[in-house]
Chain A
Amino acid sequence: MADPSAPMRRSPLAGREHDLARISAAEVPFLVHVDVRCDPETAAGLDLPFEPNTVAGDMTWGILWLGPDEWLVVTTPVEAPRRLEELRSAVADRPHSVVDVSDSRTVIELRGVDRLELLATGCGLDLDPRGGWVPGRCAQTTFARTPVILQELDGATRVFVRWSFAGSLVDRLLAAVDVLRS
């Protein structure tokens, strides 16, 4: 059944599909993002990644390591209710925090072969497979002073950007592409 609220919702980069295409990218809006905080002992019983800057799970239930006691669960509206309920009940008797941040950020998926070059115009991390940046890695960082979370997929890189910064980030990516192609 279609979500009846869909016509009321608008994603940060709605209307910028053409600009995103110029950087071989597309917005992946309306995913469910949940910030999970708990201590490592509590987390031990869950399928959370413990190695810093790695991702566990898959495209329907992915968990990004953000810190020693912080994870970002990224899932779909279909999966979310059941899986989040399972998560909540698994940690119910321990101190924890589960906060819905789905509308805080949107996701820009960069799919160009030069996407890591593009990101390297504004991000100081080692975004090179030879340096360990391979599918399954994630990182909280900045691109051109904009806070972002990066996640490497097979053949694509996801850029999680807060709503308010999204338009400005696309402007900066477009400018960088123009310079790289000049």
Chain B
Amino acid sequence: MTARRLPTGGAWIDRSRPVSFSFDGVPLTGFAGDTVASALLANDVDVVGRSPIEGRPRGVFSAGIEEPNAFVEVSAPWFEPITAATTVDLVDGLVVESRPGVGRLSPEPHGTRPVAHRHRHVEVLVVGAGPAGTAAAIQAAAHAGRVLLVERRQLPGAPELADAGLLEPQIGTTALGLYDDGYVVLHQRGQLETIWHVRAERVILATGAYERPLAFPDNDRPGVMLASAARTYVEAFGVLPGERVVLFTTNHTGYEAASALVAAGAELVAIADTARGGSATDAARAGGTDVRSGWVVAGTSGEERVTAVNLLGPAGEQEVVEADLLLVAGGWDPALQLYRGIGGGLRYDEGIAAFVPDGTGPPWLDVVGAAAGDGLPACTPSWDVPGDDARKYVELQRDQTVADVAKAVARGLRSVEHVKRATYIGTTIDQGRTSGVLTAGITNRLLGWQPDAQGPSNARPPAFPVPFAALAGLDGGPLLDPIRTTPIHPWHVTAGAVFEDVGQWKRPRFYPRSGETMDEAVARECRALRTAAGVLDASTLGKIEVVGPDAGGFLDRMYTNRMSSLPVGTIRYGLMLGLDGMVVDDGVAMRLADDRFLVTTTTGGAAMVLDRFEEWLQTEWPGMRVYCTSVTEQWAVVAVGGPLARDLLAAAGTDLDLTNEAFPFMTLRRGSVAGAPAHVCRVSFTGELSFEVHVPATFGRHVWDAIVAAGTPLGLAPYGTEAMHVLRAEKGFVIVGQDTDGTATPDDLGMGWIVNTGKGDFIGKRSLVRPDTVRPDRKQLVGLLPHEPGLVLPEGTQLVAGTDLAPPVPMLGHVTSSYASAALGRSFALAMVRRGRDLRGSTLVAVVDGRAVPVDVTDPVFVDPEGERRDG
């Protein structure tokens, strides 16, 4: 036995709380406060995994997030595909398995920990609760309001911290990234994971420093460990990682680590110190330690673990000493991943042979303590030693050696960024925390450059791997995106509606009766509307109230036709174009009063249209006296249509005169429907006699229920969006966004009649006379009747001229809407076809699954072209 739990000590563990876990199927125990790495060492597990390319045994190398070696998969009680064993807190029932430097995803759904996201605003955020961070937090709290101190591990026992007036410090917390204006994202681990979104006026980074390894042959063998990590295992976890210790150091902190191990009972066999003497050397020699000044470690031996260390003297002397633990103290690199991720630069500090902040970075950011280089030991700039380059590992997780760096440099790469991409050094879970400066130092040396020529490759957030599940938080499953429902929604649910997503809205697509297929249900709903009556929940229509003396003139500029001439109480259909002359939305404008219009938009276009109105009013025409207010949600809309719609509305109870004479098509009347205050519009999207009943949303369900009750004896069927699509397509009414794709002008849609070029300017007007917009071979809206009347052409089907499908085949157009029609007793489609209007009466070919299906090109209006049905 070489590594073991000490009988006493371990500031971070709670020996009264044993914890059971398993590693590679073997049940083991540790203590609360252990990491997987400390518990494995306590159980004398040398080999935590194998290296990814060469399959070499690998053990615990560090004690923190810089770990490049000991990787595990966590499969219970939560799942993480790969993470460093030094960062996983031991919990009861934890199941971990060794991973060779690369993770794997299971196809099965995984358990995840509950995740909370919390937003916090503070005056000062201090990252890191070491001596510098603690002092900074205490000082900040004396001057600033809210000071938050976060720490990846545990807080120091400083009593003044408790009385400093800080916000409750958060431990187990790692900063993932700094973003503009002091926005910082933190990850807090635990049974409840938390993602903190902190907005800070000032951020103080006291992130400390990472000990740097050295590259020597076989430096990857289990039993080779960063000196400071070994000290942490002794002092924080009460674990002695080895009995016979050799230290390879460039600075005095290695001596301190070795002393801590000796104090815990280890034997210090020898010290190889790259420096030639010094006070630490003298003190160690005085204590009887064998210190070799100017010596280096030139290799290790052993199978699964270090059993001997090869020492190399300045004059080439060689000596082998038996040892089971080799401590490496190559110097200290300030932990600047967060600082560099927000644009902070580096400069080389010769005294400590390390890269420190150069004073750049955002003005709200300070770096203090060891992270700024303060207090780091003087150190000889050593990166690697003589020996076989191919066995001197620079990047343990990627099995990359000094030879690999040399190969990259030999190919002409000079920037560490290029070397990184050629070797994958630093593309690791630890983001090159142990390999970055080493690689820069070796690259500089190979190029004959000075150590300050270039520092480590850059860092980007997240500075520490974070599970996607944690970033998603609650925003998964049914909470992935807000779900919008209408006031009538509960009725649809009870009626067994099948819903479709329209933007964030849930809209009933159809209402299947028992045993009905979708096609059967849609056909029944369509038949009901054309022969009796149908009712649709149209509440999702976008609605905007446009108010002010210039409202009419404003709408004249937004739509292609004239709205200012509408008499009060009448309605006009309008098309809205982009600056390029292409149709972007449609709807109707109702004049409620001289200075007041209600315009409707498509369900999906509501926000876009309001934004467009506001943009033009605010940026181009601020002098227009017009205000726009969204009232989409103010009004529930119940659309009643069909030959019996008039009787039905009367039966539901209304004080309105519903006759054609008193209430003609494209007018609106205010009155009551089923006792509710309403405005009722004579508009039709199906070609049938229709009334759109707008009532305040809180009355929506009541009015719907009343209309359904009154209509059921008359054969009323509620219909969904699918039947609505069929019914409107039978009339050749387009849906913006389905039949159009942002490249259709009004004329392309056969709606040139709606463009009023005599009324003055409107958005898109000038583009309508561009040569490309008026060329005769544009795609135009037509109807199609397939020769196979039972075949519903897939939407998107390409249309060509002949049956010879050997490429190249000129494409003439495509199907935009396609349905089976109950009214026609056959399938039909709408399509955009080049010179389509000229092709009416001819036959084209639709290509369906490679098969040529002849289709007749027709006018797009299939039902009631004379419009005789709309007045009932």
Contacts and interface: CB of A to CB of B under 8 A. Distances in A.
Interface in B88-102: none
Interface stretch (B362-370, B570-578, B625-633): B625-633
Contact of A120 (B119, B485, B675, B702): B119
Interface stretch (B471-479, B658-666, B727-735): B471-479
A121 B484 contact: no
Interface string B309-320: 000000000000
A142 to B, nearest CB: 9
B698 A30 contact: yes
A104 interface: yes
Interface string B788-804: 00000000000000000
Contacts of B118: 117, 120-121
A12 B505 CA distance: 15
B699 A8 contact: yes
Contacts, number: 139
Contacts of A162: 633
A166 B179 CA distance: 32
B485 A164 contact: yes
A95 B478 contact: no
Nearest to A4: B675
A168 B485 CA distance: 9
Contacts of A146: 482
Contact of B482 (A95, A99, A145): A145
Contacts of B634: 100-104
Contacts of B633: 101, 103-105, 162-164
Most buried by A among B115, B482, B540, B676: B482
Given A97-B548, A97-B627, A128-B121, A10 B702 contact: yes
A59 interface: no
A134 interface: no
Interface stretch (A18-26, A44-52, A78-86, A169-177): A169-177
Interface string B488-519: 00000000000000001100000000000000
Interface string B613-640: 0000000000001010111111100000
Interface in A109-145: 117, 120-128, 130-131, 144-145
A165 to B, nearest CB: 5
B474 A175 contact: yes
Contacts of B108: none
Contacts of B835: none
A77 B376 CA distance: 71
A164 B506 CA distance: 10
A23 to B, nearest CB: 14
B688 interface: no
Contacts of B481: 145
Interface in A1-20: 5, 8-12
A7 to B, nearest CB: 8
A158 interface: no
Q: How large is the interface on A (under 10, 10 to 19, 20 to 34, 35 or more residues)?
A: 35 or more
A115 to B, nearest CB: 14
B549 A95 contact: yes
B487 interface: yes
B483 interface: yes
B676 A35 contact: no
Interface in B139-194: 145-146, 191-192
A11 B548 contact: no
Contact of A10 (B475, B487, B674): B487
A123 B199 CA distance: 12
A125 B199 CA distance: 9
A122 B117 contact: yes
Contacts of B211: none
Nearest to A167: B485
B782 interface: no
Given A5-B677, A104-B633, A176-B474, 13 more contacts: A10-B701, A30-B698, A95-B627, A97-B627, A99-B545, A103-B633, A121-B119, A124-B199, A128-B121, A145-B481, A168-B482, A179-B115, A182-B191
Interface of B: 114-121, 145-146, 191-192, 197, 199, 474-475, 478-479, 481-487, 504-505, 540, 545, 547-549, 625, 627, 629-635, 674-677, 696-702
28 contacts: A5-B675, A5-B699, A10-B698, A30-B698, A37-B627, A37-B629, A38-B627, A97-B627, A97-B629, A100-B634, A101-B631, A101-B633, A103-B634, A103-B696, A103-B698, A104-B630, A120-B118, A144-B482, A163-B633, A163-B697, A164-B484, A164-B486, A164-B540, A165-B484, A167-B485, A168-B482, A168-B483, A168-B484
5 shortest interchain CB distances as A-B pairs:
A97-B627, A126-B121, A164-B484, A97-B547, A37-B627
